[in-house]
Amino acid sequence: MKILVKFKKNWADEFNCNGFKVYDTEQAWQADVMTLPELEYEFGTNEGWQEGEITVNDFTVVDISNEQAQALKDLFGNEFGIFPF
């Protein structure tokens, strides 16, 4: 079983940022979650979030089968869109 983690957050009431990442284990996802308090993420020329602005509530975690994970990886790679880890 793999884990699909979807990210959705609005930037400055101007646009929504979406992305996803496929994790091989729950432990790998939990390791990333531990870094959230000091996480900063920038994209574009001056867009992004500072420490503490990205929270666990900005993510949705879904269990997926190995076959579904492989299909996503074949189509998009290990992650797609805006994903802060």
What length is written for the chain? 85
pLDDT at 18: 97
Residue 46 CB contacts under 8 Å (≥ 6 apart), including other chains:
none
Over residues 28-59, the pLDDT tens digits come to: 999 999 999 999 999 888 899 999 999 999 99
The tokens for 73 are 């990886």
Straight-line distance from the first to the last Cα atom of the chain, in angstroms, rounded to the nearest whole number: 21
What's the pLDDT at 76?
96
The closest alpha carbon to 6, from 23, 14, 18, 24, belongs to 18
This prediction's pTM = 0.92
Arithmetic mean of pLDDT, 54-67: 97
